[in-house]
A and B are shown apart, each in its own frame.
Chain A
Amino acid sequence: MANIEINAPGTSQLFIGNEAIARGALEAGIGFAAAYPGTPSSEILGSLAQVAKKMGIYAEWSINEMVAMEAAAGASFAGIRALAAMKQNGINVVSDFLANLVMSGTGKGGLVLVSCDDPSAISSSNEQDTRPIAKWLDIPLVEPGDFQEAKDMTKWLFDLAEELGTLCILRSVTRIAHARGNVKLGELPTKQHKAHFDQIHDLKNVMPTTFMPLPSSLRHFFLHMKLDKAREKFESSPFNRYVGPDKADLLIITGGSCWLYSQDAIEALKLRDRVGILKLGTLWPLPERFVTEHLNKSDKVLFVEEIDPFLERSVMELAGNFPPNALRPTFYGKRSGHINAYGELNPDMVIKAVSTILGLTYQARDVAYSKKSEALVKSTVPERSMTFCAGCPHRATFWAIKNALKLDGRDGFVTGDIGCYSLALGPAGFFQVRTMHCMGGGAGVANGLGKLGQFGFDQPVIAVVGDSTFYHATIPALINGIYNQSKFILVILDNSATAMTGFQPHPGTGMTAMGEPTKAVSMEALCHALGAHVEVCDPFDLKGTTATLLKMMAEDSGAKVAIMRRQCELIRAKKEKSPYNVRVDVEKCIGEDCGCDRLCTRIFLCPGLVWDKKAGKSRIDEVICSGCGVCVDVCPQGAIIREAA
C-alpha cells in the first residue's frame, strides 16, 4: 500500500482510487473511520487503519456496514468528522439507519459515506447502483472521474456535509477504486480532535433539537431545504465541466470512470471538434441550470454511464419540464439501446455508440491481428477455472458436505452466502450451493425451509456462512432458528479471517483493524449460549466431518451449528512451511481406468493436481500444491502419497 499519510503538499503520489479517497479524508481532518470490508471498497479503511495511530485518528473494521455507519454517525454527533465506507451491497444493510439519519441530520462533524459500486458484479452478487439511493434519501451524491478528483472531492465533501448538516455520499466504481494514478497532495491538518456530545444541538440554524427523525414531516421539509442549498452550490462546482466545441454534432453527458472512456473514444475517433463532453461530478441533486445551458450544445445527446440510467432519467426529467415550444434534443443511451443497460462499459462500447449515432465506421485494428494476439495470449495462460486455492479448507468442507448429502439420500441441499465459498455454486464446491443472495441470507432462507416438515418436506438443509459473515448478519437468523425450532444445520466455515476481501480481522480473530490485540468473540461459546447443538470439525478430516454432518442431519431437533475450523491457507502459508510433501505414485495411479476415472482432476479439482494426458496419470503441480495432503484421502487407489515436509 502507498504512504497515504506522507506530508509533502504539492508533490504527486501514485495512489489507487481508494487510497486517494483515504488521503482526501485525512486532508479533510477526519477523526473517525469505520467500514466492513467489501470489494472494491476495502482499501479505504485498510489504508486509513494502517496510519491511524500515527495520524491520531481512530479506524475500525466494524461487524457490519450498519454498525460502521452508525458508529461514524456517533462520532459526527460528538463533533468529529467521520467516514464510513462500504461496497454497494452494504448500502442495503445500512439503509434503514440512513433513512432516519437523513431526517435527524448529522452532528457538528461532517459525515461522509463512501460507496463503491461494482459494475458487471466482478466481485459481487449484484451490480446495484448506489446513485438512485441518494435520490430517495434526499441527500447529495458526488462521483469522482479520476484519482485526483477522488482525493479532492472527498476533502471537499466533508466541508459540504458539515455545512449542510447532512450525510453526503461519494460514489465510486471498481475502475476508480482499484486503478492507479497520480494524485497531487494537499495539506494535512494539524488540528487536534476534541469530542463532545451536545445534549441539544443546533439543527443547522433552524432549531435546537435532538438527534432523531421526529417530527418527520417537518424534518423532511428541512431536508429538502438542505438539498436545494446543495443544488445551488453544485451549479458552480468545478467538478462539473464541459469540454468541446460551442456547437457540437453530439453531446456526451457522463461522469465517473465513464468520463475517461468517453475521452478515449473521442480521441480514438478524432472527433474533438465535433463531439462535446459534459462531465458531471455532482450527480444529485442535479445542477439543473448548468445542465440546461449545455443541452443547447447539440441536438443529439448521448448518456454514457454504467449500471442504471441515472443521469439519463434525471436529465430527461429535467427536459420534461422545458416550456412546450422549447427545443428538445434527441436522447441516446440505455433507453435507445446505444449503451448497454447493464455491465461495465469500456472505450470500445462508447466508440460503437458514437459511431452508430454519427454514422461513422471505425475499426481499431484488423481482425486477423486481433485473432492472432488472442491466440497468443491463450497459449501462454494455463487453463484454469475459477476455483478455491490449493489447500483451501472450503474445498474439503464442500467435499464432506457433498458426500454427506448424497449418502443421506433425502435430496438435501445447501443454502449459500457471500464469501469465497460462494464459488461452491460451481465446480469448485461441487455445485453444492443452491441459493445465494446477501450476507446472512442463506441462514434466513434455511429458517423457512426448516419449518416445512408439516408439508411433507424432508430434505436436509445446510446453510453455509463464513466466519466473518456469521458475525456480520447470521446471528439473528440462528437465534430465530433456535427459538422457532427450524430444522437446519448452520455450517460456519471458520477460516479465521475475512478472506475474500483481503484477510481483514473480525470479532472472532482477537485483533483490531489498527493491529491491537483484543478480546476474541468465540463463535462456539456464543452458539452454545444460544442453546444450539454445536460441533467443531476439522474439514481436512474428510471422514470425520462427513460422519458428523450425517449424524446431525439424522437428528430431529431444530437449528444446529457445525463449525468447520481451518485457517485460510493463504494466511497459514505466510507463516509456516507446507506440512507435507505430496507426490503421485505413478505405479498406483490408474488414471482414467475403472476404479478411479481420475477423481482428483475431474471432480475434486484442486489446482495443485494436474492431469498428464500423455502419461495418463495425475501429477502434483509442485508450484501450486500447498502440501495440505487432503487429496491423499480422496484418491481411491492410495496413489497420492504425503510425507511430512
Chain B
Amino acid sequence: MTTKGCKELVSEVIETRLCALCGACTGNCPYLTYYKGRITLLDNCSRTDEAQCYEYCPRTYTDMNAISQKIFGTPYGENEIGTVKDVFMARATDNRIKKKAQYGGAVTALLSLALTEGVIDGAVLTKTSDDKSPAPFLAQSVDDVLKCAGSSYMACPVLGRYNQIPKDDSSKLGIVAMPCQVLSVAKMKTVPPANRVSIGNVDMVIGLFCTWALSPDTFYQFLKENLDLSKVKKFDIPPPPANRFDVYTASGKTSFPLEQIRKHTMLACSHCLDMTSEFADISVGSVEGTEGWNTVIVRTDAGADLMQRAKRKGKLQIDKLPESNLEHLKEAALLKKKRALNEIVKRSGDKKNLLYLSLSSQLTKKLLA
C-alpha cells in the first residue's frame, strides 16, 4: 500500500496535468469531485496510509508485471497490442445498433448480448448528455445501452460512476472504458479496494482503442463557441487520411481540421503508452480503411466466451482481420508507446525515472531506442 494521499494526487497528477479524467479517484470520495472537465479537491483529506485515490490512479505508481500477472497470469510482455487470444474484425448485425454505431457497433452488440444473457446486470458507460457533454451512465437494459452508442471523443470520468454503486450491491457489472480507465480497473483487480462496491463484480471490461482524448473542459468550450450544441446529433473522426473532425447536425455536417482539434487533446494522453486497452477482456476499435467494421481483440477467457456467444447468436458478423491491418495496428500501437515513453523521460529528465510506470529495463530500452 502506498503512503500517499489526495495531496500527492493533486500535486503529482492533477496539477502536473497527467490526470486523464478516468474518474477512479471520484464517486465514493467526498473530497475529490469531477466537475466540468476537472477533478477538484473540495477539502483536505488526512488519509495517507491507504488512500485509494492515489492507489488506483492510472498515473501513479503502476507495476505492469504485477497487474499482467493478476489479469493474464503472465508478466507484462513486449507485444505492441498486449496479451492477445484472438483478433477479428466484426460488426453488429442488428440494424438498430448499426444505425447508431460509431463504426461497426461491436461494443453495443456485445454489451446488449451480455445484458440479455445475464452475463452482466448492468454496465458503466459514457453517455452524451443533453448539453452534449459526456457523462458517466449506468446502463441496465438494452435500451439504456443503445442510448450510449456513439462517441464524443472527450474524456469522461466513467469510473466515478462505478465507485458510486452502493457497496452492498452484488450485481454483475460491465465497464466500457478507455485504456487509462482499463488500467485503473486492472489496478483495482490486483489490489481490491475497500469501502466500495466489490471489484469482483466487474465481470466484463470492454476497452476502447484510443490515441488521445479531447478535454471536456477546453474542447467543450470550443464546441460551444463554434456550434449550436443543442442541434448536434453525432461526432466523428473518420479514419486517415480524412484528417478532420465532423459534427453532424439536423441540417448537415460541419467539419473542423484535425489540427484545430488537437490543441484540445489532454496532455495526459501524450504520457500514455496504451492504445489498445491492454488489460481489458475485449478491446474494440475501428478498422483502418474499412468503414462500418470494428477491430476486436479478445484477451481473456471471459472475453472469448462473450465473443463465442455473439457468434453463436448471430449478434456479430465476424471476419478475419487482414494481416496488413493487424501490422498497421501494431505499428500505431508501438508508435504511441515510443512517443509516450519519450515524453515521460523528457518530463522526468531521467531514463530510469518513468514517473508512474514500472517497465522492464529491456522494454524501456527498446521503446526509447
User: Do the beta carbons of B30 and A594 come within 8 Å of each other?
Assistant: no
CB distance from B96 to the nearest CB of A (A): 35
User: Do the beta carbons of B42 and A595 come within 8 Å of each other?
Assistant: no
Q: Which 9 pairs between the two chains have the least Cβ-Cβ distance?
A: A636-B30, A595-B195, A407-B35, A597-B45, A603-B43, A599-B30, A594-B52, A595-B28, A406-B42
Considering the complex, give the chain B residue whose CB is closest to the CB of A599. B30
User: Do the beta carbons of B29 and A636 come within 8 Å of each other?
Assistant: yes
Cβ 8 A contact of B195, one of A407, A409, A593, A634? A593
Seed contacts A406-B33, A409-B35, A594-B51; 14 additional CB < 8 Å A-B pairs = A403-B33, A430-B43, A590-B195, A593-B194, A594-B29, A594-B47, A594-B53, A595-B29, A595-B195, A597-B31, A597-B45, A634-B30, A636-B29, A637-B195
CB distance from A107 to the nearest CB of B (A): 58
Please give, as numbers and ranges, the residues of chain B lying within 8 Å of A594 by CB-CB distance: 29, 47, 50-53, 194-195
User: Do the beta carbons of A407 and B33 come within 8 Å of each other?
Assistant: yes
CB distance from A602 to the nearest CB of B (A): 7
Instruction: From known contacts A590-B195, A594-B52, infer whether A409 and B38 are also in contact, taking CB-CB under 8 Å.
Output: yes
Contact with A along B17-35 (1 / 0, CB 8 A): 0000000000011110101
Interchain CA distance A634-B42 in the complex, whole Å? 12
CB of A151 within 8 A of chain B? no
Chain A, range 594-638, C-beta contacts under 8 Å to B:
594-597, 599, 602-603, 634, 636-638
User: Do the beta carbons of A597 and B28 come within 8 Å of each other?
Assistant: no
Cβ 8 A contact of A596, one of B30, B33, B42, B53? B30
Please give, as numbers and ranges, the residues of chain A lying within 8 Å of B33 by CB-CB distance: 403, 406-407
Interchain CA distance A430-B28 in the complex, whole Å? 21
Pull 23 A–B residue pairs with CB atoms less than 8 Å apart, ordered by A.
A406-B40, A406-B41, A406-B42, A407-B40, A409-B40, A593-B194, A594-B29, A594-B47, A594-B50, A594-B52, A594-B53, A594-B194, A595-B28, A595-B52, A595-B194, A595-B195, A595-B196, A596-B195, A597-B45, A599-B30, A603-B43, A636-B28, A636-B29
How large, as a class, is the contact surface on chain B?
A: 20 to 34
Interchain CA distance A589-B124 in the complex, whole Å? 26
Interchain CA distance A602-B93 in the complex, whole Å? 55
Interchain CA distance A597-B166 in the complex, whole Å? 18
CB of B46 within 8 A of chain A? yes
CB distance from A631 to the nearest CB of B (A): 12
Please give, as numbers and ranges, the residues of chain A lying within 8 Å of B30 by CB-CB distance: 595-596, 599, 634, 636
Considering the complex, give the chain A residue whose CB is closest to the CB of B163. A595
CB distance from B164 to the nearest CB of A (A): 10
Please give, as numbers and ranges, the residues of chain B lying within 8 Å of A603 by CB-CB distance: 43
Please give, as numbers and ranges, the residues of chain B lying within 8 Å of A592 by CB-CB distance: 47
CB distance from A241 to the nearest CB of B (A): 59
Cβ 8 A contact of A403, one of B38, B42, B45, B53? B42
CB of A171 within 8 A of chain B? no
Chain A binding site: helix, strand, loop or mixed by DSSP? loop
Please give, as numbers and ranges, the residues of chain A lying within 8 Å of B52 by CB-CB distance: 594-595
CB of A81 within 8 A of chain B? no
CB distance from A288 to the nearest CB of B (A): 61
Considering the complex, give the chain B residue whose CB is closest to the CB of A603. B43
Interchain CA distance A593-B30 in the complex, whole Å? 12
Interchain CA distance A590-B166 in the complex, whole Å? 13
Please give, as numbers and ranges, the residues of chain B lying within 8 Å of A406 by CB-CB distance: 33, 40-42
Interface centre among A406, A590, A594, A602 (most CB of B within 10 A): A594
Considering the complex, give the chain A residue whose CB is closest to the CB of B195. A595
CB of A472 within 8 A of chain B? no
Please give, as numbers and ranges, the residues of chain B lying within 8 Å of A595 by CB-CB distance: 28-30, 52, 194-196
Considering the complex, give the chain A residue whose CB is closest to the CB of B33. A407
Please give, as numbers and ranges, the residues of chain A lying within 8 Å of B195 by CB-CB distance: 590, 593-596, 637
Please give, as numbers and ranges, the residues of chain A lying within 8 Å of B42 by CB-CB distance: 402-403, 406-407
Instruction: From known contacts A593-B194, A595-B196, A636-B29, infer whether A602 and B41 are also in contact, taking CB-CB under 8 Å.
Output: no
Please give, as numbers and ranges, the residues of chain B lying within 8 Å of A636 by CB-CB distance: 28-30
Considering the complex, give the chain B residue whose CB is closest to the CB of A636. B30
Cβ 8 A contact of A599, one of B36, B40, B43, B53? B43
Cβ 8 A contact of B47, one of A407, A597, A634? A597
Interchain CA distance A292-B46 in the complex, whole Å? 65
Considering the complex, give the chain B residue whose CB is closest to the CB of A597. B45
Contact with B along A366-408 (1 / 0, CB 8 A): 0000000000000000000000000000000000001100110
Interchain CA distance A407-B38 in the complex, whole Å? 8
Interchain CA distance A402-B50 in the complex, whole Å? 26
Interchain CA distance A594-B193 in the complex, whole Å? 10
Please give, as numbers and ranges, the residues of chain A lying within 8 Å of B46 by CB-CB distance: 597, 602
Contact with B along A406-444 (1 / 0, CB 8 A): 110100000000000000000000100000000000000
Considering the complex, give the chain B residue whose CB is closest to the CB of A587. B168
CB distance from B80 to the nearest CB of A (A): 36
Considering the complex, give the chain B residue whose CB is closest to the CB of A590. B195
